[in-house]
Copies of this chain bind each other. A is one copy, B any other.
C-alpha cells in the first residue's frame, strides 16, 4: 500500500501536532502542560483530541505504560507541505508566485531571510535544469 493519505489537521489538532513535533512522543499530561500555557487547553480536551487524532491516523499511540505516549505520524515537513498545497489550491488558484509574494509582504522578511530564500531558489533552479 502506497500511503494512507492523512486528513488535513484542524486548528486544535495542528496545535497538538506542533507540540509533538517539538517534543517527540509525549503523554497527554505533557501535551496539556504545554497547551495549557499557550491556549488554555484542559486535560480532557487534549485527551479527547488525541483520541480522535488516533482514529484519524494523525498520531500513533504507544500503550505500553499506563500513561500512553502519542507520536505524530507525519513529519512537520510533510504536513506543512500538505497545508501549503491546500492553501495554494483553495486561495491562490495554484499560483506559487502570488503565495510567495503575500508571504513576504505579510512577514516583512528580514535581509537574512531574503538571502536564505534566494539560495533556496538557486537550489531549485539547479534541480529544474536536470
Cβ-defined partner of A81 (8 Å) among B105, B109, B121, B128: B105
**Distance from A51 Cβ to chain B, minimum over Cβ atoms (Å):** 22
Interface bits A82-126 vs B (CB < 8 Å: 1, else 0)? 011101101111101111111111110111011011101100110
A23 interfacial by beta-carbon distance below 8 Å: no
Q: Please give the distance in Å from A96's CB to the nearest CB on chain B.
A: 4
Interface size grouping (class) on chain A: 35 or more
Q: Which listed residue, B84, B118, B121, touches A87 by the CB 8 Å rule?
A: B84
A36 on the interface (CB 8 Å rule)?
no
Once A90-B14, A91-B83 are accepted as A-B contacts, the answer to whether A117 and B111 lie under 8 Å apart by CB is no
